[in-house]
Structure formats: structure tokens, C-alpha cells
């Protein structure tokens, strides 16, 4: 499913990041439970009244060697290209200033929904004294306080009103996959090499409204695939090239639209911090993950141990991706490219694997015999039964006597038992604890 993207835009020091954290606080608290996932984020999932969306804080984007006005303009332009809904943030204490007018003019031409959030309206007087913001020409101002949380409900109500009602309708029969990773790891070379391997291209079609083109093709066995384009928007010179975090935004969009993502690493350069950031997004989104080490032909002084050593290195750096298969390829030499498509298909099937409740509860009996549930504060956890509730990723509900006793270590134990008994290679597994009534 493709989530709507909401971007917070505005000049510096109006409280965009505070607002971002306020909107996304609950969600971030959940995802940060995962070890190894970076905390340096300007984007996250958010939810309001059952509607999910991606949230971007443009305040987190820094652009080198630019004047303040150029930076404001560049950030606004990035948000316009990326987002479906734009939230312009201004400061109730300061009032309208020239930079606000600059941002408003850019957003006014965007032809996308723009909502005006008057932040730092911390008391009644400030909430009432917002009429001057009508002069920006962006409609009704919504007074909010990112620090105290007042007014957030009205703002979020207005944001989700702009979402299309059918945003999650998806009857795509194709297996959708994408190559993600930092620039220059060889994603484009892999795409071209795979498409060049005797495949019939069905169509090239627009993937989103952001100038991306998806390629649909059928393999030799008649399976339909849709390769999600991560190129996204046209670059505007150094502004985009210098913004590492901007390429992460593009990966984020591709992940949302994919069933399976192929995380591409550079075998000659090893793992970088941005690799972890992008891989963390795929894991959090619950997508199937394959790790492809490209440019393996360029690695010097290889012997029979090199591949295993690099595999151990990857799993050490990406502890939360221990379920992801690793493949060593070369787009340049056409090495092991057919194996990528085999893995994409296998991981997709594992993502959509359903297990009967009777088999799950047999597993549960054996698991509790191996390792009885722990005692916490004098009370023993009881797991009554396990049932699968959804796929993509496989999601299970464990009915227990007290959810507070269901510690993450025991959850991980059950996940490991599931992996031992059933083939869930390449897919995360989610377990939700519920107290049995």
C-alpha cells in the first residue's frame, strides 16, 4: 500500500521538529524498541483515527553552502515534490515575517493541499490572536502547541480529510519489488542487468505522481513482476545531490510500495551508516528483505573464507535482519543475477504464508515444554493459544493471561520456534500479545 506523505515545512525555529515529535511520538516509541534501528530520523509512520501516513520533517534536512533563504526555498521544494499534503508551520509568538511569506508563495504554487499550523500558541491569548496569518493566503490557521499538545486533534483531523478515501485499495497481481541502498552501490546496473536477461517487458507505467516509472515484466515461468522505480524526482543540481537524507526519503517511498525490497550493498566498500538507516526502514515497514552484495567481482584477495566472513560481518551490523538471505552478485559480470529473482519470489511466498491454528498450537505446546514461560514479579506468564491474523508480514496474536508478562525475550523465543518449524526466510514476523478475556 502506498501511504500518503505529509511534510512539515517552514522557516527555521518555528518548532517543526517539536511538532513532528508530537505527532509521531507513540509510533517512534514502538519502532525504537528494535535494536540497531537508527534514531536519527526526519521521517516516520504516523497514524490518526485509523489513517496511516508518512511524516517528513524538512527541518532535518541541511544543505551546505547556501544562504538562509536558499535553504528555506530548497527545503520547501523538496517537500513539494515528495509530499501529498503540506503543513506550513509558523510561530504564533513572532507573527508573520518575510521568510514566512517566501515559503507561503512557494507552497501556494504547489497545487497540493496546504494546511497552516500556527505553532507555539501555548496560551488562550496566543490561540485567539492568529488573524494576521490569514494574510499568507493559505486559508484557516490552526493554532497548536507542539510542546503542550493543544490543538493537535483539530490539525490532524484537517490533515486526514485531504487523504483519498480509496488510498489503500490494492488489487495488483504482480510481485512488487525494489532495489534500495545508498547512491553508487550499483542499483541501476542491477535493474538494467535483470531486465536484459531474456525477460518480456509488459509495460512501463507511472508509479506515483512524482515522475517515477515502474517496469512490469514476465519471467520465463509466466510470473508477473513490477519493479518499483526508486529514482523518484528529477534532481535540481547540488541541492539534491548533497542531501543524503533526501535519498533516504526516496527509498522510503519505494519500500512503502514494495512487497519485497532488495537491500544493495557495495562489496568493495563495506557497510556505511546510511545503509543501516535504509535497511531499518524496510524492517520497520514489515517488508520482505533480501541483502544483495554487489560489485563482488571488485573485491580483491578473495579466498574460500571471504564470503562467509562478509556474511558474518553483515549479520553483525544488521542484527535485526538475521532473517534476510544474503546473495553476492555482480551486475557488471552478470554473476548470480537469476538467483535474485528466485529469492524475490521465495521471500514473497514466505511473506504470504499462512499457518493453520492447530499447527501453531502444536508448536506452542512443544515450545513451552522446551522453555517454560518466565515468572515476572512472582507471576508466571501463560500463553493459551496462538493464531495467525494477517500476512505481509506474517502476524500472529498470542492470547496470554497478562500482556505485561509477555517480555520481548520470550516473544523472540516464539519467533525463533516459528522460523525453525516453518519457512519464513526473508520476512519479519510480528507477534501481538492480547489478554484473554
By the 8 A CB rule, do 386 and 364 touch? yes
Q: How many angstroms separate the Cα of 301 from the Cα of each of 119, 236, 294? A: 58, 40, 16
C-beta of residue 344 within 8 angstroms of C-beta of residue 177? yes
- How far is it, in rounded angstroms, from Cα 46 to Cα 32? 14
**What is the torsional sign of CA 149, 103, 93, 68?**
positive
107 burial class (0-12, 13-18, 19+ CB within 10 angstroms)? buried
Give the residue from 348, 342, 359 showing the smallest Cα distance to 422: 359
**Residues, the chain, total?**
437
Please report, in range form, the residues annotated as the binding site for GTP: 10-17, 57-61, 119-122, 181-188, 229-233, 294-297
122 burial level (CB within 10 Å; 0-12, 13-18, 19+): middle
- The conformation of residue 374, written as its DSSP 8-state character, comes to P
Instruction: Please give the DSSP secondary-structure letter assigned to residue 270.
Output: B
Residues at the binding site are 10-17, 57-61, 119-122, 181-188, 229-233, 294-297
Q: In what order do the strands lie in the sheet with 200-206?
A: 200-206, 213-218, 224-227, 175-180, 260-266, 288-294, 326-328
The span from the CA of 318 to the CA of 322, in Å, is 7
What is the phi/psi pair of residue 397, to 5°?
-110, 125
| Residue 289 CB partners (closer than 8 Å, separation 6+) | 260, 261, 263, 279, 282, 283, 321, 323, 324, 347, 426, 427, 428
Q: Contact at 8 Å (CB) between 357 and 388?
A: yes
Amino acid at each position: 500500500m502506498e501511504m500518503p506523505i505529509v511534510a512539515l515545512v517552514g522557516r527555521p525555529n518555528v518548532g517543526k521538529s517539536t511538532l513532528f515529535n508530537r505527532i509521531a511520538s507513540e509510533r517512534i516509541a514502538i519502532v525504537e524498541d528494535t535494536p540497531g534501528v537508527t534514531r536519527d530520523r526526519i521521517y516516520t509512520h504516523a497514524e490518526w483515527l485509523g489513517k496511516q501516513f508518512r511524516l517528513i520533517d524538512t527541518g532535518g534536512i541541511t544543505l551546505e553552502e547556501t544562504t538562509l533563504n536558499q535553504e528555506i526555498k530548497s527545503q520547501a521544494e523538496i517537500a513539494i515534490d515528495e509530499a501529498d499534503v503540506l503543513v506550513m508551520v509558523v510561530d504564533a509568538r513572532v507573527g508573520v515575517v518575510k521568510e514566512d511569506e517566501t515559503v507561503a508563495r512557494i507552497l501556494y504554487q504547489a497545487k497540493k493541499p496546504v494546511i497552516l499550523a500556527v505553532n507555539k500558541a501555548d496560551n488562550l491569548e496566543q490561540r485567539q490572536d492568529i488573524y494576521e496569518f490569514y494574510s499568507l493566503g493559505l486559508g484557516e490557521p490552526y493554532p497548536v502547541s507542539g510542546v503542550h499538545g493543544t490543538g493537535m486533534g483539530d490539525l490532524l483531523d484537517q490533515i486526514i480529510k485531504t487523504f483519498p478515501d480509496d488510498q489503500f485499495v490494492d488489487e495488483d497481481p504482480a510481485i512488487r519489488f525494489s532495489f534500495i541502498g545508498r547512491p553508487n552501490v550499483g542499483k541501476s546496473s542491477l535493474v538494467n542487468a535483470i531486465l536484459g536477461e531474456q525477460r518480456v517487458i509488459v509495460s512501463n507505467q507511472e508509479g506515483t505522481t512524482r515522475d517515477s516509472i515502474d517496469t512490469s515484466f514476465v519471467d520465463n515461468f509466466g510470473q508477473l513482476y513490477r519493479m518499483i522505480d526508486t529514482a523518484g524526482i528529477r534532481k535540481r543540481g547540488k541541492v539534491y545531490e548533497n542531501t543524503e537524507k533526501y535519498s533516504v526519503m526516496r527509498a522510503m517511498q519505494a519500500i512503502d510500495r514494495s512487497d519485497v525490497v532488495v537491500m544493495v550493498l557495495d562489496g568493495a566498500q563495506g557497510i556505511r551508516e546510511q545503509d543501516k538507516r535504509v535497511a531499518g526502514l524496510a524492517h520497520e515497514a514489515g517488508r520482505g528483505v533480501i541483502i544483495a552484495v554487489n560489485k563482488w567481482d571488485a573485491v580483491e584477495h578473495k579466498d574460500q573464507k571471504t564470503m562467509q566472513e562478509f556474511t558474518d560481518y553483515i549479520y553483525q551490523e544488521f542484527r535485526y535482519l538475521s532473517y534476510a538471505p544474503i546473495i553476492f552478485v555482480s551486475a557488471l559480470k552478470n554473476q548470480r543475477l537469476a538467483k535474485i529473482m528466485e529469492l524475490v519470489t521465495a521471500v514473497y511466498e514466505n511473506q504470504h504464508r499462512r499457518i493453520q491454528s492447530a499447527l501453531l498450537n502444536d508448536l506452542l505446546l512443544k515450545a513451552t515444554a522446551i522453555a517454560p514461560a518466565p515468572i515476572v514479579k512472582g507471576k508466571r506468564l501463560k500463553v493459551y493459544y496462538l493464531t495467525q491474523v494477517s500476512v505481509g508480514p506474517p502476524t500472529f496474536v498470542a492470547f496470554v493471561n497478562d500482556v505485561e508478562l509477555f517480555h520481548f525475550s520470550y516473544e523472540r523465543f516464539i519467533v525463533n520456534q516459528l522460523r525453525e518449524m516453518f519457512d519464513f526466510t526473508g520476512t519479519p514476523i510480528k507477534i501481538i500479545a492480547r489478554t484473554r478475556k
